[in-house]
Chains A and B, each alone.
Chain A
Amino acid sequence: MNHFVTEGYVLPNQMHIYWTTMIVLYPYITGIVAGAFIISSLHHVFDRHELEPVSRFAMIMAFAFLLFATLPLMAHLGHPERAFNMMFTPNPTSAMAGFGFIYTAYLVLLAVEIWLLYRADFVFLAENAKWPVMRRLYWLLALGVMDVSPEAKALDRKVMIFLASIGIPAACGLHGYVGFIFGAIKANPWWASPLMPVIFLLSAIVSGVAMVLVCYLTVQWVKKREINGPCAYALIESAWYFLIIDVTLELLELLNRAYMANDDWQILKALITTKLFTSFFIIQILLGSMIPFFLFGSVVVLKDRMAAGTRNAIGLVGGVLLLMQVAAMRWNVVMGGQMFSKSFRGFLNFDVEIWGREGLVVAGLVFSLPFITMLVISQILPLWGGIDTFPKKFMKDVEPPRRTLKGYSKFG
């Protein structure tokens, strides 16, 4: 039995923290999904052409992360073998019951979007991939239909734009409902807030944009390829705007609580000034919000006057800080809400589990799976450009259709 060191009076059943690392990891993963999808949609739906170099990657990244979003939950459940009860007998008043359906619907939506995005490539590779087994795979991925006529492509494009437009509210739902899971719990004053779904969603977008930015800069640097200036700038700018709204709302919520000073304020004040001081003020606010705010702000304000190398370096550092900020935010919400007792008279200390079903090692493993998946996918599909950027060694000696990235996105 885990023994948690307590101070003051903690209710007997609260001597144990129930929602730990896995429940911090789950919204982090779905948040990255939402943010990456927004980036991709900015390109497909809102015609932000600068984001073209990352739009395919962002979609694949969203999909790769979404594939593993259920793992932390399964590792947490007392009865993971009954997990499907949430979809078989969902309680209509429970936000958590929405998980199964929202998740599945979104997974299907993303899968279809990616399928439509890459369908022409599947058809091409079904003919021109080097190995027979791979040709079979591409044929299956194309669902056996080799139609890439202009009419089919036009239809694809229409459906893709439709899906991308409903994908944005769907992404809001996918992450908004997680915020609602916390925000609607009146029993926990640290969680109960109508702003919680909005804050979760905005920080999700920040984390997704930051992850796309960090991955883009890292991959291009490792592969010694050119970093597209307007693209990097657009990512930094989007992250900056969303960061501003996100931190504004987070601080507004805190300010509101402090000002109203309800019966819960004494314990919450003690919570954030003692137990959460480092993780909230130092990591989340100072390092995770203020520094990226100034860093990215200087990129946005200076624009072309800033050297590309400086901008990329700031993008990388700031992106990593933002990823840390969102992880800290999730931690502060989930763990912070359980580190004080509902008696309002006591605290618990949380010793992070390293091994064990819900430990850091498992969290690290789960978090690395999307990256491994993307590596595998990069061997099957071109992540960063058109089919002409796909390694020649995977294909027969045929010249792939030469399309500029611009033309490709317009399906023209």
Chain B
Amino acid sequence: MNIMKTYLNNKRAVALFTLPALLLYTIVVSYPVLQTLYRSFYDWNGLGGGTFSGLSNYVKLIHDPLLMRSLRNGALFALVLVIFQIGLGTLLALVCADPNVKGRKILKAGYFIPVVLSVTVVCQLWIAIYDPTSGLVNKLFQVLGISYQQNWLTSSTVSIIAIAFVNAWQFMGFQFSLLYAGVKSIPEQYMEAAIIDGCSKWKAHLKITIPLMAETYKFCFILAITSGIGAFIQMLIMTSGGPGTTNYTLTYMIYRYAFLDSKYGYACAISVFLVALSLLATLVINRLFGRERVTY
């Protein structure tokens, strides 16, 4: 143990390992972020000097009717991602880790294909799928005799879910691969022991595999929830945030104010809010998943 300490305390090694990454990250990522923070206190059009305006951008943000809508959309978006990506991802990961399932290799590669494609392609595909007259969703409902056919991308209630689903579907494979790696990293003896004790396979997973994957889940949740809060590109491609402002999210607000309204200072304030919110969500998730677990 003592030897361990002297080794792992090696200051020079720590510096050598962390400084390159920290240095680059600080210059390229943190420095612009600090500028964003600084500029959030300014009335500024993105060029030129701008005038100091204290907290007025933040006050304005609180009263902006788009804020509540963006938050609501962000929450719904995150919810869809969590349910679909983590839920389905877990099921598929557990199934694919089971050696009894045939063609696992091909299945796994297949599930990942949407991740490989560009977001533009996937969005164009789903625009066609959601088309109210020729689209596949409504056709499918028609065939199944369900009268839930509707205008997926224009409805003020379901469109955000429809759009979130596109993201959830495309990047499910991503979460799936993380979860699969998580499942695989759990020693098989644990499962074997549980099954010998008389647990069914699924029960064993529920009691053993999933709790042991807490660290993986933590990461998956952080990923799903923060990408829900920061969602943007699907809205931009599929509906331009519309109809009207129906599908606005925080990032969409930033984009609109910065580049359409030339209110860069205000956009900076929204960015600061977005980062703070994501950070808060991360801390909450960390709390919920408890202290870091000791390895087995």
Q: Do A and B bind each other?
A: no
